[in-house]
Structure 1
């Protein structure tokens, strides 16, 4: 495919990229509603259910930096195609898994495909959309759909489970990939980094070990305890390996991730913003989905439908956030977005059985608004801080912060919740004379409490006795209270993120030479067209750059793969 053809088809190509991304973002949440069915059909233990979810996340997060670098070297379309193929093979194998152990393996295999897909979509986007205005809109659409995929996962999963077997939550990926795979071959350029950088296998191994160790510790800590030997050992290995990774990246002449990027406040602060945005989204969805099912009594499908408002707000607001950036600057939009997220979490923290969904809905609307405002401009800041030939690594860094942020959100909010729930249940049920096993089950989880409540009157299926209702009501109150504490901690962390964005993100960043966002002479024309000023120092630097590059840039705006090799067929 030639450059002109790729440029002419850029908006159709964006649809292919978004479709490819959708299967990955859906997979993060669609499986959660199927866990009870998996437990019954595959006789999966609690630990096995956890690894069915976590195996995918660990492989995904651990490989992202490596796969981004591979895409830069061998071709981003090739990386995307290989990722889709691996993902659909893993999906089909998962749908027909005969045992929990087999499903853990196939889910981990899907994580390899996901790690190839996500960085390839964003790096291809930044190389197809070279006009800064169009690219900002495209990233807004990309960011909005990635969040929507996460939000509608429970609804789609609930609907599929009402009509089909649990394998359907995996088979839903097959028709999407069947369209995206051939469409990508014909509509996407196979752009590569200009200088064909050498691979960094030692750095790749270090990054995988560090990220897998840290993410494993984050995920396991709520169940095992932050001071358990296994978690402390994993944290120690992760921290030590990360230190060696940083040293190696500063030492080698072909680093996978140039640590000097983090000296740019725009890049560092934007990564913090993305991490905390997904911290809030994954953590709040983890709690609110359970709250709606256990406390308010909704079915998985009913709870999923009631998550749609959050998804719709994200879908509408994310593409429009770039317009707001032009008016008030990245700093205020991202900081305002994270501040809105904090308010939404604080509202959600006040949800009770009596207030019901009437308190959950405004919290969801605020969360969707804040996430959408912060996510797209922060992503644009990450990609706009890097040279174009490092688009794959920049995209992988962006995706890694998403996964790590999501894991942190679930782990930290879950830890706070667990630390509050068990004592609250012990206090409420201490005088009922329950056997030790029953009290222990009620303290472990709200699902266990409902089982104890049903059995209290001799009926294993329904809660139909006064003591049963007392146990169930105590569990609902304890869950609401404990969820509120966890969400308040999350709100405080989101506020810290807002302060980081307010202090370190530039209002209107002046582009750097070779950056993904625009050529130096394009910046002046775009500033004039959009009325974007920036600080006086930034403008002075921009004028100096313009004078030194005036004769080098007399071509038309936005060559479709500027700084890259010509696309291959």
Structure 2
């Protein structure tokens, strides 16, 4: 009977932790689908959409490494409970937000609590399930739920919008967080590390400022001018923050980032894989709904269904990736996965320019990019932690996750910038005879980039005469997406080559 109670308690604990995992992953993949809706109901522009997504990842990055230290010192169960409550409150505020600034600020706190919650989940699982077979099964189920949240997030988000409203994409997490917290309180065992290191506040603050500063510079640079005094000051402050971060970590006895691990070729080669996945695949999921809604005219449900071809392979392919890694080594599988992602983007590019574009012409490239992500993700995770000794696995995992989130935040901003520049490049020659100055042209390009077509002819009456059917606007948007997909495909190919060279020709440990 005692063993049966133990099993039941562990099962309930696993359910609670998986509920937390599902919330975290849904907030990454379900929110992009509602961004065009937020443009209509809250008046969000392209920069707002970027910040709604970016601020979540920046929040996660801010606490990612510190959360593990706090959990070790004060109790993994205790910190997990606190983060669940905070995530539920932040989600409630997001859902009740009546303005973009409130939504962005609440998304930041949602990201902070979500990032800490993710680290605490892993720590709690590691302590709760210590037997080999049971531990492997628990982490396997946890990974499946994480994949389900990421893979089905778009259709779940679009379904919620279709049945209820955009608010419930956030509000639904509040009751889930309450239930998960109750289950955690009653079933997850408390654990601490008496040898826990002290909190690296200086490293945490300087890294966060560097990421935020670079993201702000890219996102707002077009408006304030990249060569303006303000922009240059922001860039100098950002570079200074990063330099101080490196100095702090190298001089700290207990750093968040132990840069010596980058001397291990397997570790560095896998980190290129982390960067590659978030250089192209995940940031593009923010913009793909704009293509489907703005250019193809799909409704929110059809957008969610169309995105399944992009996300589902990420859930189905990892078991194959594990077998391939065991047979051919990660040093080949990870670069091949990145190359496949890049190939998917190039094929998507041609699919978007087909004579009769639609979800079917985008399907081959979308699926191939998803397959590439699936081939890369699991080998990267296993290699970063397996390349170092067991007592450094947590730190290695933290660097891996930080590399992903930092790259994601920066490339969300970069893709938005490239999208606008591509549209501007199209508009300038064809609207040269109109009396639009550079600021008006950029404003027009940003409205097109956000898929905001409803008010274009009202705000720019020149278009009512020169482009009554919207042909020019759609062609400009298509060129912007052409630039993004070309940037993503070539960029991830470069990272694939860097990963292959870094791993080297022989198996290394």
TM-score where L is the length of structure 2: 0.85
TM alignment of 1:124-203, pairs within 5 A: 124-125=124-125, 145-146=145-146, 148-193=148-193, 195-203=195-203
Q: Any conservation in 2 of the 1:331–1:506 contact (CA below 8 Å)?
A: yes
Secondary structure of the structure 2 residue equivalent to 1:104:
helix
Secondary structure of the structure 2 residue equivalent to 1:253:
coil
Matched with 2:114 is 114
Q: Structure 1's 163 and 416: CA in aligned 2 closer, same or farther, altered over 3 A?
A: same
Q: CA deviation at 1:199?
A: 2.6
Matched with 2:482 is 484
TM alignment of 1:505-524, pairs within 5 A: 505=503
TM alignment of 1:162-561, pairs within 5 A: 162-193=162-193, 195-221=195-221, 224=224, 226-350=226-350, 351-352=352-353, 354-430=356-432, 442-446=444-448, 447=451, 451-453=455-457, 467-469=467-469, 472-505=470-503
Residues of 1 paired with 2:339 and 2:287: CA distance?
Answer: 20
CA deviation digits over 1:122-171, x for unaligned, max 9? 34455666688987787676556545534533332322222323321211
Q: State the aligned residue count.
A: 503
What's the C-alpha RMSD, in Å, of the aligned pairs? 3.6
Which has the larger Rg? 1
Residues of 1 paired with 2:474 and 2:224: CA distance?
Answer: 24
CA deviation digits over 1:335-363, x for unaligned, max 9? 11101001001111221262322221111
Structure 1 residue ranges without an equivalent (≥5): 509-533, 539-569
Q: Structure 1's 74 and 226: CA in aligned 2 closer, same or farther, altered over 3 A?
A: farther
Q: Structure 1's 39 and 467: CA in aligned 2 closer, same or farther, altered over 3 A?
A: closer
Q: Structure 1's 347 and 260: CA in aligned 2 closer, same or farther, altered over 3 A?
A: same
Matched with 1:561 is none
Q: Any conservation in 2 of the 1:313–1:369 contact (CA below 8 Å)?
A: yes
Secondary structure of the structure 2 residue equivalent to 1:199:
coil
Query: 384-393 or 481-490, which moves further after superposition?
Result: 384-393
Query: 216-225 or 61-70, which moves further after superposition?
Result: 216-225
Residues of 2 paired with 1:136 and 1:479: CA distance?
Answer: 47
Q: Structure 1's 276 and 393: CA in aligned 2 closer, same or farther, altered over 3 A?
A: same
Secondary structure of the structure 2 residue equivalent to 1:307:
helix
Residues of 2 paired with 1:149 and 1:485: CA distance?
Answer: 29
Q: Structure 1's 337 and 141: CA in aligned 2 closer, same or farther, altered over 3 A?
A: farther
Structure 2 residue ranges without an equivalent (≥5): none
Residues of 1 paired with 2:179 and 2:4: CA distance?
Answer: 24
Q: Any conservation in 1 of the 2:58–2:208 contact (CA below 8 Å)?
A: no
Residues of 2 paired with 1:455 and 1:232: CA distance?
Answer: 32
Q: Any conservation in 2 of the 1:342–1:490 contact (CA below 8 Å)?
A: yes
TM alignment of 1:32-43, pairs within 5 A: 32-35=32-35, 37-38=37-38, 41-42=41-42
Q: Any conservation in 1 of the 2:333–2:379 contact (CA below 8 Å)?
A: yes
Secondary structure of the structure 1 residue equivalent to 2:317:
helix
Residues of 2 paired with 1:408 and 1:3: CA distance?
Answer: 49
Q: Any conservation in 2 of the 1:441–1:449 contact (CA below 8 Å)?
A: no
